[in-house]
Amino acid sequence: MDFSGNHILTIDQFDRGGVEALFNVADKMVPFANRDRITKVLDGAILGSMFFEASTRTRISFGSAFNLLGGSVRETTGFEHSAIAKGESLYDTARVLSGYSDVIVMRHPENGSVQEFSKASRVPVLNGGDGTNEHPSQALLDLYTIKNELAFRGRGIDRLRIAMVGDLKFGRTVHSLCKLLALFKDIRVVLVSPEELKMPANLVEYLREQDQVVIESDALEESISNVDIVYSTRIQEERFNSQEEADIYRGRFRLNQTIYTANCEPNTVIMHPLPRDSRENARELDEDLNDNPNLAIFRQTDNGILVRMALFALVLDVENEINSSARDTIWYTAGRSL
């Protein structure tokens, strides 16, 4: 898989070798993300951060990742009313905006829009989320987190046992994660959801075609007893017809420290794509888990910086130059690490 100069639009672009190459570069980013060292490898380069839909943390994560490589960021947030309203095609928008930067990250509310934009772009485009369709960097940081958490236990991704819990119908992240996991060997996926919010059948079928084991369930406690990872998700209430309909499912599967202790193996890792819903009637991951060292949800978002730095470095073909301009940091950096 060749990254240099290419768009990153979908996790379907990734084979196992591509994932591993990306993760190797992400590992090299640790000293920079930890602020032990700084690099200026992209000094002079400009990221065009085009967020035609709000997503504060994805936007800032990409922007910080680019800054940490030494580059500058030019940004737009919210819909570009003017030009669209005046009848401009996405082709024209892409031709124009791609003249302003060296690489673009784009989020857009419409499925397929980033792909269409990328066809006319003169610089590499990273998909930061196009509607309900794709959000590849999220899936990659999830898998990178799984790799890291298992590595601490002396394991690789092969032979992973994972439970995915919650809204598996509308949750874009679990769909993408299933596709990525299918690239590995002897994966066992336990899918825990209400009947009405089951993982789409084509994804279950796809996993099984790749010789992975898939078990479907609607009971939480028995499903999390023999897994390495519990990947919990929020009810995607914005995708239901009404708040009331979402409330039927909200809070159905709640993990807290008591349930964890009673059911999980020691060191079972807890993940979540965030935001987690901490309201009284939801609490898919209770706050009493905050002191559990296996709660990996904030390591997950931190890993987003590493994975996005790696994507930029690979797409702009500087992954071997990172250290050539590096030096130690001199400011206060204690307390950063999780």
35 is a contact residue toward a second copy (CB under 8 A): yes
58 flagged as catalytic: yes
> Closest Cα partner for 150 from 308, 297, 306, 296?
296
Considering CB under 8 A, how many residues would be counted as binding a second copy? 80
What would the two tokens of residue 333 be?
A: 């950096």
Q: How far is the CB of 185 from a second copy (least distance, A)?
A: 32
40 is a contact residue toward a second copy (CB under 8 A): yes
Bridge partners (DSSP) listed for residue 47:
73, 103
Q: Are the CB atoms for 128 and 59 separated by under 8 Å? A: yes
What would the two tokens of residue 41 be?
A: 């490898």
15 is a contact residue toward a second copy (CB under 8 A): no
Of residues 28, 59, 108, 135, which has the active-site annotation?
135
35 flagged as catalytic: no
Site residues for a second copy, window 44-103 (CB under 8 A)? Answer: 44-46, 48, 54-57, 59-61, 63-64, 67-68, 70, 72-74, 76, 80-83, 86-89, 91-93, 95-97, 99-102
Residue among 207 and 318 whose Cβ is closer to a second copy: 318
Site residues for a second copy, window 278-297 (CB under 8 A)? Answer: 278-279, 282, 287, 290
123 is a contact residue toward a second copy (CB under 8 A): yes
Site residues for a second copy, window 297-326 (CB under 8 A)? Answer: 298, 301-302, 305, 315-318, 321
173 is a contact residue toward a second copy (CB under 8 A): no
Q: Are the CB atoms for 191 and 223 separated by under 8 Å? A: no
- Beta strand 327-328 with 37-38: parallel, antiparallel or unpaired? antiparallel
Q: How far is the CB of 80 from a second copy (least distance, A)?
A: 5
Site residues for a second copy, window 209-248 (CB under 8 A)? Answer: 234, 237-238
Structure-token match 């994660």, residue found = 177
Q: How far is the CB of 153 from a second copy (least distance, A)?
A: 23
d(CA 231, CA 29): 25
DSSP 19-31: HHHHHHHHHHTHH
Structure-token match 């993300």, residue found = 33
d(CA 159, CA 212): 10
145 is a contact residue toward a second copy (CB under 8 A): no
How far from chain centre, in Å, is Cα 60? Answer: 14
User: Helices 136-151 and 297-315, interaxial angle, to 10°?
Assistant: 120
What would the two tokens of residue 106 be?
A: 């784009």
Of residues 28, 59, 107, 108, which has the active-site annotation?
107
57 flagged as catalytic: yes
Q: How far is the CB of 155 from a second copy (least distance, A)?
A: 25
Q: Which residues contact 202 (CB under 8 A, 6 or more apart)?
A: none
Q: How far is the CB of 265 from a second copy (least distance, A)?
A: 25
109 is a contact residue toward a second copy (CB under 8 A): no
Q: How far is the CB of 296 from a second copy (least distance, A)?
A: 12
Catalytic residues: 57-58, 86, 107, 135
